[in-house]
Structure formats: C-alpha cells, structure tokens
Amino acid sequence: QLQLAESGGGVVQPGGSLRLSCAASGFNFANYGIGWFRQAPGKEREGVSCISLISSSRSTIDYVDSVKGRFTISTDNAKNTVVLQMYSLKPEDTAAYYCAASDRATWLPMTARSDYQYWGGGTQVTVSL
C-alpha cells in the first residue's frame, strides 16, 4: 500500500530553519513526482515545491516564488525520502505542510493539487517569536 509520512515540523523563531522529510513506503518513489504543499488556517492549500519524475534525467524542480532562495527540495533515493530544507523562515510560512505523490509520467513540474493522487497526513510548521 502506497503511503507517505511527513516529519520534521515544529516551532521555530523567524529566521530559523527546519528540515521536513517525506518518507515513501509501498512504492518506488523514483517513478513518481513528489510535491510539497502547505495550508494555513483559512487559506487554500498551495504548492510550495515539487520534483517531477524523480528517475528521469529530465526531472525538474520548481518552487513557489515566495520560498525561492530559502527552501530546497532534494531526494534521498536510498531512503525513499524527499526532503524540504527550509531556511530563513518567516511567520507567513506557518502552515501544515503536506507531501504528495503523482504517478503522472512527466518530467514537467507539477504544481497543482490535481496533479497528485496520494497524500501524507501533514506536519505542522509554526514560525513565531
């Protein structure tokens, strides 16, 4: 059974860092695209970062403008894990963060919720003094 589990959330002061992990089980994530989304209270879930078709040499990475230069997505193939490293965190980064997997065989970046079929349960990130 395909499962995704996020970890690494917590409370951090503005300017701090957190490292989120998305552990995939029940499937080889190299054949999937992985996206990170976040949802703040009262707001729509938005795409944060994605990496398409991990096994492809043409795999692409994308970030929403608000996190470019501060967040980095990477994969640990040996652990079937996708990591979202977050630096210079701001209060507006506060949200529940979710990872998602897509079985669409495309190297193009997938930034929409509808691109993904499988979702983890989320991990909370709170940026506050």
Q: HSE of 55 in the Cβ direction (CA atoms, 13 Å)?
A: 11
CA 125/CA 62 separation, integer angstroms: 21
pLDDT tens string 69-112: 999 999 988 889 999 999 999 999 999 999 999 998 888 889 99
What is the 8-class DSSP label of residue 30? G
Residue whose entry in the numeric block shows the structure tokens 């349960």: 121
pLDDT tens string 20-58: 999 999 988 888 999 999 999 999 999 999 999 878 788
Q: What is the mean pLDDT of residues 58-62?
A: 90
Confidence label for 67 from pLDDT (cuts 50, 70 and 90): very high
